[in-house]
């Protein structure tokens, strides 16, 4: 089984690993400790101490914090319970007219705002652009991934987490609060 240095994995993430070494990673049987090494690398790059449970994206992490599991940006900004779509706790900028869309797409590259709006999800802490959606009006934001964390740790990694959380989508609970 292949093993790769943390330093090489870091170079890969940063896009500076030489191509032959990258090919080696692509072609070799996968290393079994990659997840742990990746989490260690990410843990050293974030501005918070809470342990990372899952790197949701290169910028967003599900972390264990004060008995809860919440989504945090690298900068430490929290988006709340990982079982509700984090986008509902984000800042959002929506381009849904020609003036705002033309800041990105000009002239013959301009999409039609009656067909599509560009939604930018921005971190309230560091101003990072975390996701961009291009959807017609009426489309709920994608809940890109709701992990079954307890199955992952308990059955797949063989080291259960100290507490368990139900595997359920809580997004609509938040909506219900807003609309009541």
Partner 1 sequence: MALSLRERTQAHEDAFKATGCLFGLETLVCKETDPGGYEAVWHILSNLCNAAWAVGCKVSSSPIAAEGGDALWGLHTATGEAICISRGISAHAGLLSDMIKNFIALGYEDNPGFKPGDIFENNDPHYGGIHSPDFDMCMPLFYDGELIAWASCVSHVSDAGSVTPGSIGFLNPDCYSDGLAISMERVGEGNRFYPWYELRIRSRTRTPDFVMGDARGRLAGCLTIRDRLEEVIEKYGLDFITDASKEYIEDSRRYAVGRVKTQTVPGRVRKSQFKDLAMKGKRVLLAKQDLDCAFNLPMELTINADASVDLSLQGASGTVPFGENISPTALKSGLMMGYSHIVGFDMFNSGPISAWNVEMPPAGSWANPFEKNYEAASGVAWAPAVTWVSNLYEVFGRLFQMRGFVEEMAAGAGTIMTAEFSGINQTGMYLTGLTLEQASQGSPARGYSDGENSAWCIYTPEADFGNAEISELYYPILFLGRNVAPNSGGYGQFRGGLGHTAVWMVYNTPGLEYQCGDAGMRSKMVANHGMYGAYPVVPDRPAYGHKTNVKQLIEEQKPLIHGRGDPESPLIASLIEAEVVEDNAIAPFVTPEPLQDYDIIVHPIAGAQAMGDPITRDVASVERDLNEGWTTTRVASEIHGVVADKPNGAFVVDSAATDAKRSEIRAARKARAVPFKDWWLEEREKVKAEENMDPAILTMWSTCMEFSPKYGEELLAFWALPEDFTFSG
Instruction: Give the DSSP letter string of 14-26.
Output: TT-S-HHHHHHHH
Give the C-alpha distances (Å, rounded to integers) separating 14 from 11, 43, 53: 5, 15, 21
Q: Is 64 in the site for partner 1 (CB under 8 A)?
A: no
Alpha carbon distance 61, 53 (integer Å): 7
Q: How many chain residues bind partner 1 (CB under 8 A)?
A: 86
Alpha carbon distance 67, 118 (integer Å): 36
Q: Is 87 in the site for partner 1 (CB under 8 A)?
A: yes
Q: Is 45 in the site for partner 1 (CB under 8 A)?
A: no
Tokens 């089984």 belong to 1
Q: Is 56 in the site for partner 1 (CB under 8 A)?
A: yes
Q: Is 166 in the site for partner 1 (CB under 8 A)?
A: no
* Cα 72 from chain centre: 9
Q: Is 164 in the site for partner 1 (CB under 8 A)?
A: no
The residue range among 23-31, 43-51, 63-71, 158-166 that interacts with partner 1, by the rule CB under 8 A, is 23-31
The answer to whether 73 touches 42, Cβ cutoff 8 Å, is no
Exactly one of 65, 88, 161, 165 binds partner 1 (CB under 8 A); which one? 88
The answer to whether 79 touches 73, Cβ cutoff 8 Å, is yes
Least distance (Å) between residue 65 CB and partner 1: 19
Q: Is 65 in the site for partner 1 (CB under 8 A)?
A: no
Q: Is 7 in the site for partner 1 (CB under 8 A)?
A: no
Site for partner 1 in 125-144 (CB under 8 A): 126-140, 142-144
For the chain, the farthest-separated pair of C-alpha atoms sits apart, in whole angstroms, at 58
The residue range among 43-51, 65-73, 151-159 that interacts with partner 1, by the rule CB under 8 A, is 151-159
């Amino acid at each position: 089984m292949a093993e790769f240095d943390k330093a090489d994995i870091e170079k890969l993430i940063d896009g500076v690993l030489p191509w032959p070494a990258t090919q080696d990673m692509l072609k070799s049987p996968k290393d079994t400790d990659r997840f742990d090494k990746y989490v260690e690398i990410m843990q050293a790059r974030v501005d918070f101490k809470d342990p990372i449970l899952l790197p949701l994206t290169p910028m967003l992490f599900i972390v264990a914090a004060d008995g809860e599991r919440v989504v945090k940006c690298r900068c430490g900004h929290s988006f709340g319970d990982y079982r509700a779509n984090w986008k509902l706790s984000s800042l959002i900028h929506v381009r849904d007219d020609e003036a705002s869309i033309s800041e990105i797409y000009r002239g013959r590259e301009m999409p039609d705002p009656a067909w599509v709006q560009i939604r930018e999800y921005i971190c309230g802490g560091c101003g990072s652009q975390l996701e961009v959606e291009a959807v017609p009006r009426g489309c709920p934001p994608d809940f890109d991934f709701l992990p079954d964390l307890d199955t992952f740790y308990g059955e797949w990694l063989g080291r259960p987490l100290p507490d368990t959380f139900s595997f359920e989508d809580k997004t609509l609970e938040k909506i219900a609060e807003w609309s009541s």
